[in-house]
Amino acid sequence: MATRKGTEIPDSLPNYVHDISTAGCVFCPYGADVEVGDRLYVYDEKTVFDRQQRERLVEITAVKVFRSTGRVITLDLNMISPEEAQRIADDSEMTLESLLDHRAGNSTFDGKRPPVVVYFEPCAEDDTTASRTRPKTAVSLDSDPSKQDGSGLGRMITRLRSRLRKPTSH
């Protein structure tokens, strides 16, 4: 899932964060296939209109196994403070109660894919609000379709325009 050093385009974490400009970790209830040192994108969906997705390239600094008893949360079998648990909940846009409820025996818990908390830090200070995007992911809808690289959207626009230009016979 994550892109190891030396490859082209990083993947994204499976869960989004509350705010990419301040988040430092994210709770992944069904695990995450990442390792320390991986670079990938973390994203949020917060803007002034609360709907536009934003991304940030980060480097993974730690991946800790999450466990809850319903009263206490541990990471890598070490009990964490209520403040750290609240920080994880805030960064992951969850309530502390939902974190505590994610434990073995609950219907949402999958023992085959244990939950983790992924810690990360930004790769570049100038990338604070997705000033860079993943290569080849942004497509302008008003660009000339003949200059696009054969993407599905480009082919669809070309077909639509050709149908609009053809005279209809009556």
pLDDT at 71: 92
Taking alpha carbons only, the member of 113, 103, 93, 25 closest to residue 71 is 103
User: What are the structure tokens assigned to 159, written together?
Assistant: 């077909």
Contact in structure between 119 and 62 (CB atoms under 8 Å): yes
Rounded CA-CA distance 5/170 in Å is: 61
Stretch (H or E) spanning 106: none
Of 126, 128, 150, 127, nearest to 139 (Cα)?
150
**Which of left, alpha, beta for 135 (phi over 0: left; psi -120 to 50: alpha)?**
beta
Q: 25: burial class by Cβ within 10 Å (0-12, 13-18, 19+)?
A: buried
Intra-chain end-to-end CA distance of the chain, in Å:
54
Structural domain boundaries in the chain: 1-137, 139-170
> Which pair of tokens denotes residue 37?
């040192």
Computed over every residue of the chain, the mean pLDDT equals 79
With a cut of 90, say whether residue 149 has pLDDT above it: no
In this predicted model, what pLDDT tens digit does every residue of 84-127 receive, in sequence order? Answer: 999 999 999 999 999 999 998 888 889 899 999 999 999 875 55
Q: Which residue has the higher pLDDT, 2 or 156?
A: 156
Distance CA 160, CA 148 (A): 15
